[in-house]
Amino acid sequence: MKPLSVLYVDDEPDLLEIGKLFLERSGDYTVATCESAVEAMKRISGEAFDVIVSDYMMPECNGIQFLRHLREHGNKTPYIIFTGKGREEVVIEAFENGADFYLQKGGDPKAQFAELSQKIRKAADLRRAEEARQESEEKYRILVENANEVIMVIQDGRIRFCNPRMANLLGRQPIDLDGVPIARFIHPDDRELVMSRQRDRAAGFDVPSNYEARIVSSTGTVHQVLINSTRITWEERPALLVLLSDITARKQAEDRLLAVNEELRSRIETIARQNRDLNTAYKQLAAAEERLRQNYEELEQSQVKRRDVEVRYSLIVDGAQEGIWQGDEQNRTVFANRSMLEMLGYTAEEMLGSEIVDFIAENERAEHKELQKIRRSGEKGRYERTFVKKDGSMIRVHVLASPILDDQGRFQGSFAMISPDVAERKRVEKALREANKKLNLLSSITRHDILNHIMAVQGYLDFAEEMSVDPVQAKYLETVKKAVKAIQRQITFTREYEQLGVAEPVWLPVERLVRKAADSTIPVNCDCQGVSVYADPMLEKVFSNLMDNTLRYAEGATGVQVRCIPEGSGLVITWEDDGPGIPDEEKERIFSRGVGKNTGLGLFLTREILGITGISIRETGEPGRGARFEMTVPGGVYRSESGEPEAPG
């Protein structure tokens, strides 16, 4: 964990020095000091700290004035008053101005600074918890304010909260709706039903949780809504959480359909009446009339069956887990079902009229257009494709495409079933990740206990060295200390190694990783602009290990050159320096565990990280002319802005 940064302000230099020593010796803090509040103000203007500790009595500006200055300028850094003044009015004033803790000086310094350390840690933790809470509240606020459904809280029959969707529906501002009786907006014919169900729901009775009603906006517009209500507690009192879905368009469509059906029924009755009149007037046509009646009944049954099939087809298509897409003869979208829309994050309006190729990754568009030409010839197709979602992220899918032909075999469009890639593989990967997490937890606990014991052993060795007067014994103690440090390095290495394969591989830009690993003492030039590699997130460790290897062993090197060179369907990434190079007999051995002057694990770990996604590494430099590490990336696990390589399936 990164040490907490602390700013310690006191006009006593000796006290600042001893405080800095006490706090930093644990390794939990980095302490900056200032001998006056004025000096501290200047430093804070250009530097951020996790916690500020300040004396009260100081010349020019005391600790309370310093605190007031910070809060007035929007600085919310946790603030601890650490002073010899213990007057009650000072304590009260400190907390009134936003101090987080108040600690009085005096007594045993060791205990005093131990308590101060606890206060610092607690103040930082409280601030992080508050920031996390605020972030969580902001996320929920965004969800509620941008929801397509109306969300509101009803208490005692009045609106206590509503999202912008409710305000838009009613043509009012949200602030104008606070405290307004909900009955005011319910259609008079539905008011008794809605209010009685709300009362019963609030009283705990079992009433339908979903029902339809009408609401009236401030302009008199009537909206048909589907109401869903749930009992909740709002500001420590019973209330109802109510969700409204605007179904006006659906109801209007139903009404139009009923009108059409009524008109059809009326026409049918007219025809039947005319038939009866004709039967009376023209008995000689009775046989023909009977055949006509039979034909009409068959037609009616056929229409009923057709409507039933259409309804079932609509339910199947809209409820399908797979994405269903249909395009016209120009491959423009004419239909996309709910799963397709959710898969890409678009609305139907956004997709309709657009070509399917507009939603496909650029590096696959040319190939897809060739497949569209084949589809026009009447052939079906099964393939994988990478779609670009509305938020810019990629999704790999399976596509089963079929042409739509008319009776003469002319191409009229295409129909495609689209499903996300390999649910079973994802299930297995999830199970493996869960197993890895459990193993890593066990490893973490064991490593923690071993390191604690090592710390104790090191402490006892320090005491033994201080007490030892025997040179031979001192030599043995030094040997033991080296062995303990070696054990400690090995245990620390397991912390990094256990993360291998825990996270899923992701696209990582090579140039950014190289720039992050670069050291200011040796220039590093990278020619990998726009190239990304699909690898374990620990790929960053690969380049930092190579940089560390250069710094340790490339004595006299003046620079590092990193290149990305396409080779066949793959890519070769090279890391070269102009140091003394590596002897031929050591080229493979350096990747073995334990080889090297430091931990002996850096290049071993590098090969393990790369191997997760099939990337290999070897050393190909000439001894005396510099080291050259080649990383061979197979096709499908790298890409560039030019769109040449393909993403993994």
pLDDT one-digit tens code per residue, 193-252: 888 888 888 888 888 878 889 988 888 889 888 988 888 888 888 888 888 888 888 888
Q: Which residue has the higher pLDDT, 599 or 566?
A: 566
For the chain, give the percent of residues with pLDDT over 70: 86
Query: Which residues are paired to 104 by β-bridges?
Result: 83
Q: Which residue has the higher pLDDT, 482 or 638?
A: 638
pLDDT in tens, 360-373: 999 999 988 888 88
Quick one: pLDDT at residue 286?
A: 75
Quick one: pLDDT at residue 646?
A: 44
Give pTM, 2 decimals.
0.33
Closest CA to 28 of 6, 55, 54: 6
Give the whole-angstrom CA distance, residue 513 versus residue 298.
Answer: 73
Residues in the chain: 649
Residues 6+ apart with CB under 8 A from 176: 167
Q: How confident is the model at residue 597 (pLDDT cuts 50, 70, 90)?
A: low
Q: Which residue has the higher pLDDT, 637 or 67?
A: 67
Which residue has tokens 């308590």?
Answer: 115
272: phi then psi, degrees, rounded to nearest 5:
-60, -40
Structural contact between residues 225 and 187, judged by C-beta atoms closer than 8 angstroms: no
Residue 435 pLDDT more than 70? no
Q: Kindly give the pairing relationship between strand 394-405 and strand 381-388.
A: antiparallel
Mean pLDDT confidence for 155-182 = 83
Of 5-9, 268-272, 351-355, which range is least confident?
268-272
405: phi then psi, degrees, rounded to nearest 5:
-120, 150
Give the whole-angstrom CA distance, residue 135 versus residue 130.
Answer: 9
Torsion of CA 41, 42, 43, 45, to 10 degrees: 90
Of 445-454, 508-517, 586-595, 609-618, which range is least confident?
445-454
Quick one: pLDDT at residue 510?
A: 94
Quick one: pLDDT at residue 354?
A: 92
C-beta neighbour count of 263 within 10 angstroms: 10
Q: How confident is the model at residue 628 (pLDDT cuts 50, 70, 90)?
A: very high
Quick one: pLDDT at residue 326?
A: 93
Quick one: pLDDT at residue 644?
A: 45
102 is written with which tokens?
A: 């108040």
Give the mean pLDDT of the chain: 83
Q: How confident is the model at residue 87 (pLDDT cuts 50, 70, 90)?
A: confident
Highest mean predicted confidence (pLDDT) among 101-110, 158-167, 312-321, 386-395:
386-395
C-beta neighbour count of 503 within 10 angstroms: 12
153 is written with which tokens?
A: 């809280």
Mean pLDDT confidence for 48-54 = 94
Highest mean predicted confidence (pLDDT) among 100-109, 424-433, 448-457:
100-109
Quick one: pLDDT at residue 472?
A: 81
Calculate the CA 323 to chain-centre distance.
Answer: 23
Give the whole-angstrom CA distance, residue 528 versus residue 144.
Answer: 43
Q: Which residue has the higher pLDDT, 489 or 58?
A: 58
Give the whole-angstrom CA distance, residue 425 versus residue 431.
Answer: 10
Q: How confident is the model at residue 538 (pLDDT cuts 50, 70, 90)?
A: confident
Q: How confident is the model at residue 645 (pLDDT cuts 50, 70, 90)?
A: very low
Give the whole-angstrom CA distance, residue 47 versus residue 66.
Answer: 16
540 is written with which tokens?
A: 């960053």
Quick one: pLDDT at residue 62?
A: 93
Residue 6 pLDDT more than 60? yes
Structural contact between residues 3 and 28, judged by C-beta atoms closer than 8 angstroms: yes
Mean pLDDT confidence for 478-505 = 68
Closest CA to 524 of 533, 534, 516: 516
Quick one: pLDDT at residue 486?
A: 61
Mean pLDDT confidence for 325-344 = 91
Quick one: pLDDT at residue 473?
A: 79
Q: How confident is the model at residue 438 (pLDDT cuts 50, 70, 90)?
A: low
Residue 12 pLDDT more than 50? yes
| Complete edge-to-edge strand list for the sheet that includes strand 381-388 | 333-336, 323-328, 411-420, 394-405, 381-388
Quick one: pLDDT at residue 602?
A: 78
Mean pLDDT confidence for 188-194 = 89
Structural contact between residues 383 and 360, judged by C-beta atoms closer than 8 angstroms: no
DSSP state of 634: P
Quick one: pLDDT at residue 266?
A: 86
The single-letter code of the amino acid at 629 is F
Quick one: pLDDT at residue 431?
A: 59
Quick one: pLDDT at residue 649?
A: 45
Give the whole-angstrom CA distance, residue 191 versus residue 206.
Answer: 19
Listing DSSP states for 332-390 in one string gives BEEEE-HHHHHHHT--HHHHTTSBGGGGB-HHHHHHHHHHHHHHHTT--EEEEEEEE-T
Quick one: pLDDT at residue 599?
A: 62
Structural contact between residues 152 and 163, judged by C-beta atoms closer than 8 angstroms: yes
